[in-house]
Structure 1
Amino acid sequence: MERILQAAESMQKKARAIIEETQLIDIWSSIGATINLVGSLQTGLLINNRDIDFHIYSTPFSLSGSFSAMARLAENPRIKSISYTNLIEAEDKCIEWHAFYEDDENQSWQIDMIHIMEDSPYVGYFERVAERISQVLTPETREAILTIKDAIPAEKKVMGIQIYKAVIADGVRDVDAFWRWKDAQSDDGIVTWVP
């Protein structure tokens, strides 16, 4: 267990150093946006998936401002690619940015920046989810989540929220039990569970 806890701590330190080095918060603040860390880094549950998640809000929402922020981020030589998806007309009502950062060990990190419109049903939603997960985590459930995450091969895509729900709500404690649990779930896109 000590190895897993140390691995998680190391990954989280690297992720926070990347946030600092890229000046992400300053970049988004420069266009008048609020940038909130969400996901596994925010809850202290990042271990083996090099993924940093942010939700971003600006009033008024500005597509050109969003592009301006990405142009500044792209000036960082460690940012190797950026992708963009326009979901303004979709239920999500957002712009998805995915930037890929190469660290000094040539490892690629995905930085997800979701710029959300004011009338999106997801305004503040994932911030509340992260806050609730942090509130209900115990040392036992944290260790179970990190152990399961550590055991899942990189090529198998599993949403962290699925693991959190399995462990916190349904008492799953190991990866074999998690796979059985997952097979029994319906797959309907965004998981809207909150502990």
Structure 2
Amino acid sequence: MAAHRDVDLHVYSKGITIESSFATAAKIAANPNVVETKCINGLHTDEHCVAWHFLYRYGGELWQFDVIHIEEQTRYDGFFEKMADRIVEVMTPEQRDTILRLKFEAPADADWHGVEYYEAVIADGIADLSGLTRWIEVHRKKPPYYWIP
């Protein structure tokens, strides 16, 4: 949330349907400060989720809220919370400072994922913005995967 105002929320439910997820999202989108809503239907993938991206205007600035609606008892139930716990366990104070600095130095229009900062710094020792930019360019050419330290 430094240069890019982005909040990720994971919501776990049993028996998610696209209809029930849309009904919930409609309640969020009814807020007049929500200026854009996007949906990615991943219910028929191994992720078993519906990803919602809401742009919310507050104080003249846009915030992005990513609400990932994940089916309980599937592969990713609790996965990202385990990832976060593991990052906290292994990250040194110096790595934390580097990650925070890079998040503030990143261009406001950079579409970089939070986990990319963590993996680049913790796993690969990236320490500056030019290194992070190169790391992300190379990393995104690889097949997608979820990293846990």
TM normalised by structure 2 equals 0.85
Structure 2 unaligned segments of length 5 or more: list them. Answer: none
**Aligned sequence identity (%):** 36
Q: Select the structure with the greater relative contact order (CA < 8 A; seq sep ≥ 6).
A: 2
Instruction: Give the corresponding residue for 2:103.
Output: 149
Alignment RMSD (CA, Å): 2.1
Instruction: Give the corresponding residue for 2:57.
Output: 102
Higher helix proportion, which one? 1
SS in 2 for 1:128: helix
Q: Deviations over 1:133-156 (max 9, x none)?
A: 122233211110112222222333
Give the deviation of 1:53 after TM superposition: 0.6
Distance in 2 of aligned mates of 1:184 and 1:59? 37
After TM superposition, what 4+ stretches of structure 1 lie above 4 angstroms from structure 2? none
Range with bigger deviation, 65-74 or 184-193: 184-193
Please tell me whether residue 164 in structure 1 is matched to residue 86 in structure 2.
no
Q: Is the 8 A contact 2:3 2:106 kept in 1?
A: no
Higher strand proportion, which one? 2
Give the deviation of 1:86 after TM superposition: 1.4
- One-letter identity of the residue aligned with 1:61: I
Q: Is the 8 A contact 1:162 1:191 kept in 2?
A: no
The equivalent position to 1:59 in structure 2, one of 14, 39, 59, is 14
May I ask how many residue pairs the two structures share in their alignment?
A: 149
Correspondence 1:1-195 to 2 at 5 A = 46-104=1-59, 106-118=60-72, 120-185=74-139, 187-188=141-142, 190-195=144-149
TM normalised by structure 1 equals 0.67
Give the deviation of 1:119 after TM superposition: 5.4
Going from structure 1 to structure 2, the CA distance change for 1:61 and 1:108 (only over 3 Å counts) comes to same
Structure 1 unaligned segments of length 5 or more: list them. Answer: 1-45
Give the deviation of 1:167 after TM superposition: 1.0
SS in 2 for 1:169: helix
